[in-house]
Structures are given as C-alpha cells and as structure tokens.
Amino acid sequence: MSWRTVGAKDVRDAGRSKTIWLVVGVLGLIFASVIGLDLWTESHLFTDFTDFVNTVVSILGFLVPLIALLLGYKSILHERVSGSLVLSLSFPHSRRDLVLGTFVGRAIVLLVPVLATLVLVGAVGAVLYAPTGSELLGFIWLVVLTALFGLGFLAVAIGLSMSSANERRVTLGAFGAYLVLVSFWGTLVTAGVQFVYRFREGALVPLPDWAFLLSLLQPAEAFNRLFRLGFDTTRGQRYVAAEAPWFVEWWMALLVLGIWIVVPLVAGWYRFDRADL
C-alpha cells in the first residue's frame, strides 16, 4: 500500500461525514441568501462585481477555516484512539505514507465542494454584475488563493491530530487555533504593541515594522494581501502604502501561506514519528 491507497480510503471515509457536508451546505446557503437578498432588495447591496466579491471573501474568511479544521483535527487522532492505526501500519506502508495520504485525501474532500461552490457563486455573480475581463481574472486568482487558504488550515488541523493521542487536548487545540488565527490575531498584535510601548498614546500610529510582520503572519491577512492583487479593494490596503516595509510585498504573503501549509505538518509529523503507538 502507498500514500495513494491511504488517500483514496480517506476520501471515502471523510466524504461520509455529515458534519462536513452540513457546513459546506451552510456555505452554499449563505451565498445563495446573500445573492437572493440583493435581488429582492430594491436598493441593491452591491454596486459592482468587486463589491460582490468582497462580501464573498468575508464569508470565506470565517467558514473555510472552520470546514478545514473540522475535516482534519480528528483525521489521525480517530484512528489512533480506536486502535485502527496500528492495524493500518501493519500493511506495507509507513507513517509517512499515512500522513501524506491523509493530507491529500482530506484536501480533495475540502477543496472539491468548496471551490465548486465558489465557482458557481462567481458564475452567478458574473451574470448579475457584468465584471470586466480583469475582474474575471481576479476571480480565478481568488479561487487559487482560497485553495491555499484552506490547505493552510487543513495542515494546522492534521498537525494537531498528529501531535497527541489525547482527544480533549486536540479538540481544544483546534478550537483555540480557530479563535486565534481567525478572530483574535489582530487583537493580540495590538495588545503586544501597547505592552511593548507601555500603553503610550500614539503607539499604534504608525504601526512598528515588527507589528506589520506579525500581522501579515496571520493566514487571513496574507490572504487579503494577495486578494488585493486581483481587485481594487480596501482589503490589504495597509500593506501597499508607500511607507510600508519591504516584507509586505505580495511574494511574502504567498510565502506565509506556504509556511502555514508546511510547518504545522512538519511539527506534527515530528511528534507523531516519535510517538509510541
């Protein structure tokens, strides 16, 4: 057996999860509700295609991480706790095959419905709001970014799943990862700046360079920075100001998303490879 066999099995197993399909269904329902509300309202919610896509990105920003974390945080843990992991490893494939196959399989289960929903929403938006050619190219760029964004959170979830055999610890870790990476990262950076400068008035204006870097390390911030390459939007505006430091260039944001995909998997693998199963 190889990682491909593990991945195929994982696609079948994860694809049966009612919770995942429920959350994906909620994603589609929210998009449909937003479009329906705009059509039903006499004073339209969106002025153009870019305005519409901005709302789409806001929805993606809190639901894609949730779907990815739900899909991945028990991926290795469940087999480990149930004892089926030992049986799986008795076949001729390694722990590395197991981890790689799990990541690829769960990535397929995550990306196929999410990106298909996004493309369908984009097609409806294109019919309703008549985008320019550059806006259509920007939307294709958004689809790519959404895939990278989702893979980053999936990697965090699988890394957590590999890191411990304690179900409560992994569950709390996934919950905490969502809160910190999605909701409270900016608040923590702001609090850190205030603490370093002893709550001095005006400490946040201008924002220190190291705080810019910490802000950009949040997956959503990197996502917004790259999203701005495709659309004339206020998202990521502070990273393109003339006085912004060199490390807020678009390639740095792309590197950050890559780091969020690689580092959690490597860290989780380090613990998993040395664990006594």
Q: Which two tokens stand for residue 178?
A: 């969502």
pLDDT tens profile 211-259: 888 988 999 999 998 998 888 777 777 766 656 677 778 899 999 999 9
For residues 114-137, b (16+ Cβ closer than 10 Å) or e, as one string? beebbeebbeebeeebebeeebee
Where in 67-188 does DSSP place strands (E)? none
Say what the pLDDT of residue 92 is: 63
The pLDDT > 90 percentage for the chain reads 38
The structural domains of the chain, with segments of one domain joined by +, span: 3-274
Question: Tokens standing for 133?
Answer: 């050619």
Tens of pLDDT, residues 31-71: 888 888 888 876 677 888 999 999 999 999 999 999 999 98
Give CA 195 to chain center in angstroms.
29
pTM to 2 decimal places: 0.90
